Amino acid sequence: MCFSAFNLDIAPSKSNSWSGTLLVAKIFDETPKVKTFRLTNPAGGKLPFNYLPGQFVTVTVVPNGVPVKRSYTIASSPTTRDYCEITVKHEERGTVSHYLNTQVHEGELLQLTGPSGKFTFTGEEAGNIVLIAGGVGVTPLMSVIRYLTDRSWKGEIYFLFACLNAESIIFREEIVYLAKRYPNLRVTIVLEEPGDTSRNGFLTGRVTKTLLSESVPEISSRRVQICGPPPMIDAVKQMLRELGVRDENV
């Protein structure tokens, strides 16, 4: 069963059709190195643009008198019209991520352009979906999960999330909550570093071909979206080919 993406009046704005400022209404600490910035319309009310789950905005900051731009995926769901959220990992050598994580505070304005991007899924493209994330690459896939669960989408959602350790699981509490609330959301979290994973249901290791085939039944017939570090994406794409998933479905 599929739903039209336009039933909720979220027909996406044209690519990069909006440019302006949004208010940093709230900042959440997701992990010791990751923060979420909730952005609202300074004038109040709805956001001045529409977007689809998986799209991104481009942020411009001026840390040393010179404008610098970086793109960040919107992690929130388009069903929430009064704000959008970007989730940013603090990279010590990342000019914009360092500035956002250390210099930006609630109540300030950020300059943005957007939305843009074709890495989207609304439930119309397929009757089920496999989402594979590595680290902060979870952001566009979290937008998809939030959107589909918000709308009580009936298709199967298989979510595989690879992280370094339990401390680095972004959106950990929410993912666990959504998995309990929505039986069609099947979550597998695998941690690279060994630890006490038995009591929380996490696995230890990395994403492997065996893990994929055991976590997702009949994976060869499913649509798959992957977001994470390029080496991980390349490795997972090769595993999927070996499991019979066609390239056009990835």
197-244 pLDDT, tens per residue? 555 789 999 999 999 999 999 999 999 999 999 999 999 999 999 999
Identify the DSSP state of 74: B
pLDDT(9) > 90: no
3-state secondary structure of 129: strand
Q: How far, in Å, are 8, 58, 178, 231, 238 from residue 77 at the CA level? A: 12, 17, 14, 28, 30
Report strand pairing: 83-89 vs 34-40: antiparallel
In sequence order, what are the residues at sequence separation of 6 or more whose Cβ sits closer than 8 angstroms to the Cβ of residue 26? 37, 38, 106
Per-residue pLDDT of 104-141, as tens digits, reads: 999 999 999 999 999 999 999 999 999 999 999 999 99
| Cβ atoms 74, 86 nearer than 8 A | yes
87 has pLDDT over 50: yes
Spatial neighbors of 249 by CB under 8 A, at least 6 apart, are 222, 223, 224
pLDDT confidence of residue 200? 73
Measuring CA to CA, which residue among 145, 125, 28 is closest to residue 76? 145
pLDDT in tens, 228-241: 999 999 999 999 99
Q: What integer pLDDT is reported at residue 16 of this predicted model? A: 78
How much is the pLDDT for 198? 55
